[in-house]
Amino acid sequence: MSIPANFTIVTLGVADLTRSIAFYSGLGWEQRGDPSAGITWFRTSGTWIGLFGYAELAADIGVAADLPTGYRGITLALNFGAESEVDAALAEAVAVGARLVKPATRAVWGGYSGYFADPDGHLWEAAYAPGFPVAPDGTIEITD
């Protein structure tokens, strides 16, 4: 048996659901679900981002809710069709409450990228990768 690679949701544990909803709404992302249920969803180009209380998510999993600090070993990526779009995305994210972690720079892999942290410290990369063209629906294709 093999598990199909139909990755559909990333759920982020957040300290303040209202604050995180305001942040992701401020990015202009489409929200679904009733936050009074303790979880809400934001549509992305091919998956959904779920926001769920940090302690509640840990309880659902059955693990201790130790708060993370610093780098967590994961980033989420937003790919754009041009360097100017990366700069605009980083500026907009900061304008709605993100912390700029790394300004956009030319990358050794031939692209252009920078990083921001959402209000809970989840790291997002904003990138222009010439080898990963962005389709009109926002998805990318990785061919090599």
For the segment 111-133, the average pLDDT, to the nearest whole number, is 96
For the segment 2-16, the average pLDDT, to the nearest whole number, is 93
Looking at the chain, the domain(s) classified CATH 3.10.180.10 span: 1-64, 71-132
**Structure confidence by residue, pLDDT tens digits, 45-78:** 989 999 999 999 999 999 998 877 778 889 999 9
Please provide the size of the chain in residues: 144
Question: CA-CA-CA-CA torsion for 141, 142, 143, 144, nearest 10 degrees?
Answer: 170
Query: 1-64 belongs to which homologous superfamily?
Result: 2,3-Dihydroxybiphenyl 1,2-Dioxygenase, domain 1 (3.10.180.10)
Give the whole-number percent of the chain exceeding pLDDT 70: 99
Query: What are the tokens at 56?
Result: 């509640």
pLDDT for residue 23 is more than 80: yes
User: Closest by alpha carbon to 98, among 127, 123, 66?
Assistant: 123
CATH fold of 71-132 = 2,3-Dihydroxybiphenyl 1,2-Dioxygenase; domain 1 (3.10.180)
What is the pLDDT confidence band of residue 1, given thresholds at 50, 70 and 90? confident
Instruction: Report d(CA 52, CA 57) in Å as an integer.
Output: 6
Provide the whole-model pTM: 0.92
